[in-house]
Amino acid sequence: MKRQENKACGADIHKRFLMACILSRDGSKVLNRFDMTVEGVLCFASWLKDNNCKKVAVESTGNYWHLVYQVLDDEFEFILGNAFKTRRHSGAKTDKRDAEWLAELCLNNQIEPSMILPKEDRELRALTRARKGYVDFRSKLKARTIQELEACTIKLASELSDVFGKSGRHVLQGLVDGRSADVIVESIPSKKVKKNKEMIKQAIIAGLSPISIFLIKSHIQMIDEVDKKLVQLDAQISRLLKARKRDVEIAMSIPGIGFVSAAAILSEIGDYRNFASGKKLAAFSGLDPSVYESAGKRYNGKITKMGSKYLRRMIIECAHALSRTKAKTQLKRFFLRIMARRGKNIATVALARKMLVVLHHLLINQEMYKDDGLAKPKNVKVSFSEES
């Protein structure tokens, strides 16, 4: 049983201010409003001390709670609640009522605390999420470039598997520089691509308008800038992962998981010892099926998606990669069995959940992944340079 407090505080946090309510067992309550500045949060801490309140609950709304946590963590019991699980389902919604509701839940120990990672893990998570944002932005720029080419009736994507590969960039540069199709095609660096020079010539013969040249050149410049930022981010991620080298190697020993995905997965998990089992970790990622029970019958529905969307997205990407491998590993055979009965999409999600459960087991036991289906074990040795 949790210790019952006589007082508890609920804080409804916003961008510019927070509304706080201290609720006592006798039903009395004290309300106050504070600015969301360092000075304002320090005043909030002093107000809590003056009212002899040691327990504070807030909702995990964006990053606004970080400042409050940094100020209160050392002297108060800080509870971070999931906003979906703490929301009030009836009655008028005001800042005061929200603060009172949080205080009531906190006083009666009805808030399931969310996991708060140590500072180093939060920094690693911030870097990996920033990297994901840059990659998504680069993908959008590439899509816009291809759309601009299509608008000028240049079907380059139909002839090249990667428009932004070495040969693709050569063709794009020739187009924005105003060179003729013959000159561009004859100077393609790849002999393999050059075999299809007539098809490529027909695809780019229309040329670009001045506005299209300006837009495509701008997109290419921004893509190059993003690539430079990704190199810098990778160096910072490698620096923070030096202390977890063994964990990275274990994660990368599973087929379908590379360095980037291993870094993202480990950053989202944090300390894997916080999860009692692989099933708990799968539930944290939102990959567990929802459960319906009626009249003694139990049904499994779609996955809950109640968890880290970043972890869920990355492990599903790894599952896609593993499903395309040729090696008949146990994980691949599991995927094929599910796909035969339920289809590819459900099989991929099931495989992602399976991979998380396996990863948790390997991390807990500090073992590398081994499988008879692999021609040879995946030899993983991660080296971090001194510059990282």
* Rounded Cα gap, residues 77 and 7, in angstroms: 12
174 shares a domain with 148: yes
Residue carrying the six token digits 């990672």: 117
Q: Are residues 154 and 180 in the same domain?
A: yes
For residue 289, the cross-strand partners are 303
Are 159 and 228 in a shared domain?
yes
In a domain, 72, yes or no: yes
Q: Are residues 18 and 127 in the same domain?
A: no
Specify if 382 maps to a domain: no
CA distances from 150 to 56, 155, 203, 204 (A): 56, 6, 10, 10
Tokens at 179, concatenated: 């060179």
CB 283 within 8 A of CB 274: no
Q: Domain limits at 290?
A: 244-365
Residues 64 and 170 in one domain: no
Same domain, 125 and 182: yes
Per DSSP, what are the bridge partners of residue 8?
A: 23
DSSP string across 99-167: HHHHHHHHHTT---BPP---HHHHHHHHHHHHHHHHHHHHHHHHHHHHHHHHHTT--HHHH-S-TTSHH
Q: pTM to 2 decimals?
A: 0.84
In a domain, 210, yes or no: yes
- Does residue 387 sit within a domain? no
* Residue given tokens 């000075």 in the structure block: 39
What pLDDT was estimated at residue 386?
A: 43
Q: Which two tokens stand for residue 345?
A: 């999409």
Distance, CA of 55 to CA of 7 (rounded, Å): 7
φ and ψ at residue 162, rounded to 5 degrees: -135, 105
| Residue 388 covered by a domain | no
Whether residue 312 lies inside any domain: the answer is yes
Q: Specify the pLDDT at position 381.
A: 67
**pLDDT for position 358:** 96
C-alpha distances in angstroms, 51 versus 8, 23, 56, 95, 204?
10, 10, 12, 21, 74
Residue 23, judged by CB atoms within 10 A of its CB (0-12, 13-18, 19+), counts as: buried
Structure-block tokens of residue 133: 């944002």
Cα–Cα dist 273/44, whole Å: 34
Q: Look at residue 371 in the predicted model and tell me its pLDDT.
A: 85
Are 100 and 129 within one domain? no
pLDDT for 2 equals: 56
**Strand-strand pairing, 77-81 and 55-59:** parallel
End-to-end CA distance of the chain: 47
User: Could you tell me if 13 and 91 lie in one domain?
Assistant: yes
**Same domain flag for 100 and 180:** no
CATH number at residue 45: 3.30.420.40
Q: How far is CA 294 from CA 107, 288, 291, in A?
A: 33, 19, 10
Report the pLDDT value the prediction gives residue 54, as an integer from 0 to 100.
92
Of 107, 129, 159, at which residue does a domain stop?
107
Overall residue count recorded for the chain in this entry? 388
| 3-class state of residue 93 by DSSP | coil
How many structural domains are present in the chain? 3
Which residues of the chain are under the pLDDT cut of 50? 1, 386-388
Residues 273 and 229 in one domain: no
Spacing of C-alpha 344 from chain mean position: 23
Answer yes or no: is 112 within a domain: no
